[in-house]
Amino acid sequence: MNFKSLSISKKIHIPLVVSMLIGTIKNVYNKEVKSLNNFLADAMESKRNIGITNAINISQNHSVIRALEENNRTIAMNGLKTFSDIFKKNTDYKNIKVHIHDANVHSFLRAWKPEKHGDDLCGFRETVNTVKAKKEPIIAIELGRAGLVLRGLAPIIENGKYLGSVEFMQGLNSIVRMAKENYGYDVAIVMKNELLPIATALKDAKKISNYTLAVKEKNIDPNFLANLNNIDIAQQSFQVTDDYFIISKPIKDFSGKVVAYALVGDKIDHVNQVISHSKDALLKQFYIMTFLDIFILVFLIFIIKKSVTDPINHLDQVASELAQGDADLT
């Protein structure tokens, strides 16, 4: 009876444990996906806030307003130099640029390249046209010669007159650095190769399948880049390689078109370690359940023996004695 009961207990619990183990792995994977997605969303939101806030602040800068009113680029250059130096020195966002446009959507001043100005932007700069039309700040990815650029734009208006707009430009390299330094994640941002005629500065950048690396290669673990060759970059469900657990998120430009993908990876050893800890906890739970089952079965066997089996055996003995005429009827 003991062995049979134990066998029944095993038959009940083993399929349950297998199911729970599978559920544990799925749960760990789901949590990992959520963590990677949350990191990317928070990082992008932080850069968007930085972009739009600084664009608005610069649009209120007295030197910038005066420069446009007097058509004097030197005034704007002097006013922006201190701002740019302080920003780069005291924040993690090193690759920022400020571009001022006049009321006719021509380049008024590129702070990083002051000798280049006066070119007409209205034919290809949708964000600048939109700011002029709506007179409202915007933040968006818009492709340029340097590739993917997050652009915060704000109108410059003085006494009700539209003077132009200012653009606070950021690259995406800080996300790569932040991921590694603060979370131990690896990040790569890749752009579609079909956009290289626009992003001419990336023509010699590393190629991964039909994509081009849109952030600095030196900031990325070479092993992570190698693993990206083994996945479908456009697939938005998580993917597992020999070394990484990876998610892919599309990056859309101002028009809503997917122009790139952000790939965020965590080392598979870390994910497996979490799974192993969860399995250990589950197995401990299984052992406790099995022990309790055995204890309950033994207890029930003892109770049945005392309350059922022993009285039956005693009755059988009395009946046998009666049949032989030797029973004590008292």
List per-residue pLDDT tens for the chain, 330 residues long.
444 444 544 454 556 556 666 777 788 888 899 999 999 999 999 999 999 999 999 999 999 999 999 999 999 998 887 776 776 676 666 567 899 999 999 999 999 899 999 999 999 999 999 999 999 999 999 999 989 999 999 999 999 999 999 999 999 999 999 999 999 999 999 999 999 999 999 999 999 989 999 999 999 999 999 999 999 999 988 999 999 999 999 999 999 999 999 999 999 988 778 666 656 555 566 666 667 767 777 777 777 767 777 677 767 676 676 666 655 555
Distance CA 209, CA 230 (A): 10
Indicate the helix (H) or strand (E) that contains 197.
none
**215 three-state secondary structure:** coil
Q: 3-state SS of 124-150?
A: CCHHHHHHHHHCCCEEEEEEECCEEEE
- Torsions phi, psi of 221, nearest 5? -60, 120
Q: What number of other Cβ atoms are within 10 A of residue 321's Cβ?
A: 13
pTM listed for this prediction: 0.77
Single-letter code of the amino acid located at 277: H
Among 219, 198, 176, 175, residue whose Cα is nearest residue 51: 175
Helix axes 73-90, 62-70, angle to 10 degrees: 150
- Give the pair of three-digit tokens for residue 306: 């005392």
Q: What share of the chain is helix, strand, coil (3-state, %, to 5)?
A: 55, 25, 25
Distance CA 138, CA 48 (A): 10
